[in-house]
Structure formats: structure tokens, C-alpha cells
Homo-oligomer: A and B are copies of this chain.
Amino acid sequence: MRFFVDTNELNAGISTVVKALPARTTVSILEGIYMKAAGNTLLLRCSDLSIQIETVVAATVEEEGTIVLPGKLFAEMVRKLTGEMTSFDVKKNTASIESGRFKTTLQGESGAEFHTMSSVSRDLTVTVKPDALKRMVRGCIFAAAQDDSKPILTGALMEVDGNGVTLVALDGYRLALRRESAIEAKGEASNMIIPARSLLEIARVLPDEGGDVSIVFSRTHIMTDVGDTNITARLMEGEFIKYKQILPDSHATRVRVNRKDLLEGIDRVALMARASKSNLIKLTIADSLVNITANSEIGRSVEDVEASIMGSDIEIAFNARYFTDVLRVLDEEEIFLDMTNNISPCVVRPVQGDGFYYLILPVRIFSGM
């Protein structure tokens, strides 16, 4: 294999695909970047077996071929190259690379050994605005489980039907649900569970604005093309939690409150809770006020936030972070908080429409707190 490429384009391509480099793996070849020179392009690919990212850059190819180079070292080297062009000459899985006055020989592995995800059959194709998909992912993914005690909860459920796309993530303490309309959905209505990390990488590759994006699903994979870049990820197998059963169907108290005022108030008061490591805040909802308090052995903080209250007064306590996580991903000026009693979840929902729905489980408190 022999080719040369523009160094900046090579660097941009590598920066894109290394997002799929596994942090640690027992399969050493996956720690590499797969390169294939053919026609007038260089294809770059990384994979950790659950997500694969590939992209192409223009190249002048004098001899076609493939190789896998040590990912971390090769990516760092390319980032530091200053020669305008970089040339590669590969013989017996050893690459001789030159750029400017810098030369390196790098021991690689055979490209034939690299695991490649097969192309995805187009059972379902959903076309969305890139910013809508980004908003859904950002608005949900923080609620996915961080640990593996219930592995299925480290993914998010995507439901596609005639009404659009719904994304749901939950970890047993909170639930996040976002809905966006789809521009087009071709294929059967379906539910897929996508690993949180793969969704984040897909959202990261999407442009902030610009043309619509098509997401393709097979029974086992999700795939999308953005410009010259393709991301393919494995879906998770198993049953997601039947979340609709846990959504409350009524409330005794509805609070309409300014989101930013509530977020900043909780942030200030919660510092006191953090001093005692409990992170517990109490909300007392009465007299057109949300009164936020927190105690610790070194003091007590309190802040009032003005609100419209419909229904009964209530005292209810939360882990401050579960509340601020939700308030922080929203852009709305005002929100509704719906509560039933101090041991049932609080629902955070929009004043208009049904674009999101968050559940936050309260913490039981004893009177006198």
C-alpha cells in the first residue's frame, strides 16, 4: 500500500473515528485505526464492537491496500505533524510515514484481521432534524444508569411511530422522556434500545444545523451517515422497563414556576446539603412560594422562589442533583411540577405541549427535618 494525503484532512478524519476507539480492550487489534487506500480515497475506521465510526479522506493512491495502526500513538503523531502532505508506504504490515522532516516506521497489524460491522439492512428509516435529535439525546441521556447493576438501563429506549420519535432513559431514581416529530418514517413502527454512549457519539457527529439526517435501523443495529462519516452501533438486546406503567396519571399539586429561578435557588441552597454529604433539599410548597431549605451540622440555607400553586400544599424532599440535572437540560422559561404526595414521584413537564416528561423520585423525610 502506498499513498499520500493532506495532513490536515488526515488529522480531521482521525479525530472523527477515534471516538470509537475502545478505552480498554482484550482484543488488541481494536486499539488500532483501520486504514484502507483504494481508488482515490483513504478510508479510516475504529470500532469497539458496540460502535463503529468510519470516514473517508481524499488520497493519491499509488498502491492499494489495508493496515491497522496503533490507534492512540498514531492519532497523537498525526496531530503533531506540520508537513503539508503525509506519505505512507506499507510493506508487510509495517508503515513508513513521512511528513516534512519527520519520519517514522510503525509496526501495524493486518487489515484483514480487523472486525467490521456488516452493512445494516434498512428495516426502518427515520428522518429527523439534527438539532431535534441532539435535543432528545442531551435531554435524556443523563438519566440512563451509570453502573451495570441493571445493564439494560445503560441504554435508552427509542420508540418510533406515526407520532414521531420518543426517547426514554431511567435509572430507578429518575426518568427522562423526550418527544420530537419526525420528518419522515419509512418501515414498521418499532422500539429499539440504544447504548447511551452510542447515542452520545451519534449526537456529537451531527452538525448543529443543516440538512435532515436519516437514522437507519435493522433488528440489531442503528446506522447514520453524516457527510463522509458513517456511524454504526449495535442495539441492546432484552426488554426495557415498561415505563408507561410507572407514569402517574393524576396529581394533587401543580406548581408553575420559573425554571432558571428554581434551578439557581436549588443550586445555592444545595451547597449546604453537600457540606453534610446528604445532598438533600426540602421543598415546602405553599403561599405562592417554593421554599427551598437544606441543613447540615454547620448551618442552614433557605431561598424562596415565587410560584403559582394549584391544589394542596406539600412538603417534599429530593436529592438536589436529580432535580438540577433535569432543570439544567431544559430551555423553557416556565415549567410545571406535578406532585401527588411526598413519597410519590414529582413530574416535570412543559407548560405547553408534551415535548418532555421527567419523573424524579422524592426522598422520604421525617417531620422536624
Contact = CB atoms under 8 A, between A and B. Distances in A.
B298 A107 contact: yes
A258 to B, nearest CB: 12
A95 to B, nearest CB: 8
A275 B102 CA distance: 17
Contacts of A267: 80
A36 interface: no
B303 A101 contact: yes
Interface in A66-104: 70, 73, 76-77, 80-82, 94, 101-104
A180 interface: no
Contact of A73 (B82, B272, B303): B272
B299 A76 contact: no
Given A271-B73, A271-B76, A272-B73, A302 B104 contact: yes
Query: How many copies of this chain does the complex contain?
Result: 2
Interface residues on A, range: 20 to 34
Contacts of A300: 104-105
B73 A268 contact: no
Given A104-B301, A299-B107, A275 B80 contact: no
Interface of A: 70, 73, 76-77, 80-82, 94, 101-107, 264-265, 267-269, 271-272, 275, 297-305
